[in-house]
Amino acid sequence: MKTILPGQTIGIIGGGQLGRMMGLAAKEAGFKIAVLDPTENSPCGQIADVQIVAPYNDEIALKELGEVSDVITFEFENIDYEGLKRLSEIAYIPQGAELVRITQNRINEKAEIRASGAPVANYVTAENFEELTETIDQVGFPFIVKTAFGGYDGKGQVKVDSAENLHEAAALFEHSACIAEAFVPFTKEISVIIQRNAAGESYCLPIAENIHKHHILHESIVPARVDEKVIQQAQEAATKIADHLALVGTLAVEMFVLANDEIVINELAPRPHNSGHYSIEACNVSQFHQHIRAVCGWPLRKPKLWAPSIMVNVLGEHVEPLTKMIPKYPDWSIHLYGKAEAKEKRKMGHVTIMTDHIENTLEEIEKTGIWSK
């Protein structure tokens, strides 16, 4: 296991808020940061020592990142797999390119989750709409059709309730092959963030219960309001997947909780995750600090939750009302990501509130009116 030390440079592919928070964590320990992103003055670029402005598949830019970095990580999975694979031949990328190949394709991802022994919903794959119509009997209504590539925050998918609205899924095949998975009647959505170094040492952060609005994460409540049986199953499933993938770094495992307290894995993200932002204030080690430790070959810290917490996302429409409320809520930890334009439904920041009274705090958040849109 290679060890990267303070004073050396961590290269980050992707200049968004996850890269920014990774970079800030790394800088606390004395690392330098290089970032590759197509946007000048990106959130991560603002705090980086070296800013390379170019597309993610730009071979010259990738080579430049490799030359200035002692280790390279990435902040999201929808980057160029082939470029990353070639870069790994000349630079140190402990997470590897294979993790990106698997997680940026839902068909590959689902197959690997199943191969790990973790539970998934029944599903079929289809190259085209005609193939889907021939195989839907293996799944049964209702089901959800998702594109193999792309799609996030609810995009790139269609719920099919009956044969009458099956045609609505046809347009998805214009983009890529698709996966059709049985609709799971879940009671809660939770996520486990597991982090692992090259020596195989791994820890899970306290599990978050996630509430979505308009298919975008709205709130994460920690600890999740589920039975201990669910916590145990969720951690075991995440560990199985991480070990199966020989994970180095961070893996967010999103899951559904069923009425009988069984779990079903929904999807994976091979990097720090929105639902883990609470850990910056609420844990003895944040998901970003632990990620840096993992990719740099350091021993990991056992996470400890200081207090129950709620993380609330701040979208473009929430920035102005939130900033007006700052004087009223001194206990709120406010993070804004340095994005130039506050577009509606665009993630601009988050708020973390540590509390001994989760239900009361949820009511308080609602009453502010900030998140009424």
Q: Do 86 and 137 share a domain, yes or no?
A: no
Task: Answer whether residue 16 is part of any domain.
Answer: yes
As given in the structure block, the two tokens for residue 18 are 């996850």
pLDDT at 364: 97
Helix (H) or strand (E) holding 84: helix 81-87
| Number of structural domains the chain divides into | 3
Q: Do 177 and 229 share a domain, yes or no?
A: no
Calculate the average pLDDT of the chain: 96
The residue behind tokens 């996850």 is 18
Task: Answer whether residue 290 is part of any domain.
Answer: yes
The residue-averaged pLDDT of 240-247 equals: 98
Distance CA 11, CA 373 (A): 37
As given in the structure block, the two tokens for residue 216 are 């975008």
As given in the structure block, the two tokens for residue 363 are 């009511």
* pLDDT category of residue 152 using cuts at 50, 70 and 90: low
- Helices and strands per DSSP (H, E), number in the chain: 11, 17
The residue-averaged pLDDT of 256-266 equals: 97
Q: Do 254 and 356 share a domain, yes or no?
A: yes
* pLDDT category of residue 1 using cuts at 50, 70 and 90: confident
Task: Answer whether residue 232 is part of any domain.
Answer: yes
pLDDT tens-digit profile of 280-302? 999 999 999 999 999 999 999 99
Domain ends where: 182, 199, 228? 182
Q: Do 61 and 76 share a domain, yes or no?
A: yes
> Which of 19, 17, 52 has the alpha carbon at shortest distance from 37?
52
What is the domain-level CATH number for residue 153?
A: 3.30.1490.20
Q: Name beta bridge partners: 80.
A: none
Task: Answer whether residue 172 is part of any domain.
Answer: yes
CA distances from 70 to 7, 33, 106, 272, 274 (A): 10, 10, 31, 20, 27
The residue behind tokens 């003895």 is 284
State the CB neighbour count (10 A cutoff) for residue 308.
Answer: 19
The residue-averaged pLDDT of 16-21 equals: 98
What is the domain-level CATH number for residue 239?
A: 3.30.470.20
pLDDT at 153: 58
Domain ends where: 93, 108, 130? 93
Task: Answer whether residue 207 is part of any domain.
Answer: yes
Q: Do 84 and 64 share a domain, yes or no?
A: yes
Task: Answer whether residue 106 is part of any domain.
Answer: no
Q: Name beta bridge partners: 50.
A: 34
Helix, strand, coil % over all residues of the chain, rounded to 5: 35, 30, 35
Task: Answer whether residue 105 is part of any domain.
Answer: no
pLDDT at 78: 83
Q: Do 263 and 359 share a domain, yes or no?
A: yes
Q: Do 132 and 226 share a domain, yes or no?
A: no
What is the domain-level CATH number for residue 52?
A: 3.40.50.20
Helix (H) or strand (E) holding 24: helix 17-28
CB neighbour list of residue 164: distance below 8 Å, 6 or more residues apart: none
Q: Do 284 and 163 share a domain, yes or no?
A: no
State the CB neighbour count (10 A cutoff) for residue 359.
Answer: 10
Q: Do 210 and 304 share a domain, yes or no?
A: yes
pLDDT tens-digit profile of 57-110? 999 999 999 999 999 999 998 889 999 999 999 999 999 999 999 999 999 999
> Which of 175, 15, 162 has the alpha carbon at shortest distance from 79?
15
* Chain-centre distance for alpha carbon 312: 15
pLDDT at 138: 94
> Which of 219, 265, 228 has the alpha carbon at shortest distance from 245?
265
Q: Do 18 and 69 share a domain, yes or no?
A: yes
Task: Answer whether residue 150 is part of any domain.
Answer: yes
Helix (H) or strand (E) holding 203: strand 202-204
pLDDT tens-digit profile of 325-372? 999 999 999 999 999 899 999 999 999 999 999 999 999 999 999 999
Start-to-end C-alpha separation, the chain: 48
Q: Do 87 and 210 share a domain, yes or no?
A: no
Residue 306's domain comprises 186-368
Q: Do 242 and 335 share a domain, yes or no?
A: yes
Domain ends where: 182, 206, 232? 182
